[in-house]
Amino acid sequence: EIVLTQSPGTLSLSPGERATLSCRASQSVSSGFLAWYQLKPGQTPRLLIYGASSRATGVPDRFSGSGSGTDFTLTISRLEPADFAVYYCQQYSSSVRTFGQGTKVEIK
Amino acid sequence: QLQLQESGPGLVKPSETLSLTCSVSGGSPSPNSHHWGWVRQPPGKGLEWIGTLYHSGNTNYNPSLKSRVTISGETSKTRFSLKLTSVTAADTAVYYCARHGCVNGVCYTWYFDLWGRGTLVTVSS
């Protein structure tokens, strides 16, 4: 099973700032088979990024994903109020799909 | 617009069976293409993939739950269900149903591109 470790656990930032979220895998995630999701209380989880760097339909271009192998990053270039949420990475390189433990982006 | 909605008891007694249904509505669920799954989130913890129902009817389960899980679906592909037997307090979680995404018209069991809002199931006597 591939274990995903996200850091930091919590990111305290102000609107307009840049957010950089990390997802590190315990073994190589082949072909960039990594996705990012946004979760907000009471709302449906939202797919942001798949294939490590491809934005899902309707996702603003301030969200970008990068990385390969064992190190992946989600960047939010300029935080908007709607972006304060919890973000999870998920790998689909192995037959057992696993998620990271999440990074909370909170308003400073 | 396609929507997923989980339904089922919010409280289950220890050692009993948790049963949830996911209803697909609001559009064509592409019955011959998409695959469907269940994910859960225990309170204060991260997400855990439970299993996947292929459009063929085959399944793939998380090994940690495999002995207790059954995911099945109706042939119309407008509903699919989750059963988890012999539950304990550790199975208390928000349970989500979700749809696996497609790339260039080919559907895989990779990431989830559409989710339900989730339903909290508490295991307690």
Which positions in chain B have a beta carbon within 8 angstroms of at least one beta carbon in chain A?
4, 39, 45-49, 52, 60, 62-63, 96, 98, 101, 103, 108-118
**CB-CB under 8 Å, A45 with B49:** no
**CB-CB under 8 Å, B49 with A35:** no
pLDDT beyond 90 at A84: yes
pLDDT beyond 90 at B25: no
Backbone φ and ψ for A30, nearest 5 degrees, come out as -70, 145
Over residues B35-86, the pLDDT tens digits come to: 999 999 999 999 999 999 998 889 999 999 999 999 999 766 689 999 999 9
pLDDT at residue B105, as a whole number = 83
How many C-beta atoms surround the C-beta of residue A2 within 10 A? 18
Dist CA A50 CA A30 (whole Å): 13
Q: Are B41 and B94 in contact (CB under 8 A)?
A: yes
pLDDT at residue A81, as a whole number = 96
pLDDT at residue B78, as a whole number = 85
pLDDT at residue B16, as a whole number = 98
pLDDT beyond 90 at A42: no
pLDDT at residue B75, as a whole number = 60
Chain B contact present for A97, CB below 8 A? yes
pLDDT at residue B76, as a whole number = 66
Over residues A5-17, the pLDDT tens digits come to: 999 999 999 999 9
Q: Nearest C-alpha of chain B: how many angstroms from A16?
A: 27
Indicate the DSSP class of residue A68.
E
pLDDT at residue B29, as a whole number = 56
pLDDT beyond 70 at A31: yes
Residues in A 17-36 with any Cβ partner in B closer than 8 A: 33, 35
For residue A88, give the nearest of B4, B46, B113 by CB distance.
B46
The residues with which A90 forms a beta bridge, in sequence order, are A35, A99
Over residues B97-117, the pLDDT tens digits come to: 999 988 888 888 899 999 999
**CB-CB under 8 Å, B45 with A88:** no
Q: Are B21 and B6 in contact (CB under 8 A)?
A: yes
CA-nearest of A80, A82, A60, A64 to A21 is A64
Residues of chain B contacting A45 with CB distance shorter than 8 Å: 96, 98, 112, 115, 118
pLDDT at residue B107, as a whole number = 86
B27 or A89: whose pLDDT is higher?
A: A89
Q: Nearest C-alpha of chain A: how many angstroms from B112?
A: 7
pLDDT at residue B103, as a whole number = 83
**CB-CB under 8 Å, B109 with A92:** yes
User: Identity (one letter) of the amino acid at B33?
Assistant: S
